[in-house]
Amino acid sequence: MTTAAEQDHTTKTTESSPEHGTPIAVEREFTVKARTQREQIVRRFLHNKQALTGLFVFALLFLVAWIGPFFYGFRWDQISPGDESLGPGT
């Protein structure tokens, strides 16, 4: 429960004179920083489990394709002995 003293620290009230006929306005002392469009996009992406799973799978495939040839025993341009006389697709 908040007391009147605590409310004075969080909000300020500005009153106008009744002769002007304007309503009483409340100014907020604490404001929320506006998010940029990029921040909104990243925030929504990071909260989407399917998007993060897809990003993880894509990164894993990219990593395997990039690092895999170092562990593979054959080169792509090397012809195995005895296979020179074979036709394509056999």
Which of 19 and 86 is assigned the larger pLDDT? 86
Distance between CA atoms of residues 28 and 7, nearest Å? 11
24 and 15 Cβ atoms separated by less than 8 Å? yes
Tokens found for residue 63: 């990593």
Question: Where are the chain's structural domains?
Answer: 37-67
Tokens of 87: 């036709």
The verdict on pTM exceeding 0.75 is no
Note the helical H segments in the chain: 4-10, 37-46, 49-71
Q: What is the pLDDT of residues 8-50, one digit of tens each?
A: 555 555 555 556 666 666 666 778 889 999 999 999 999 999 9
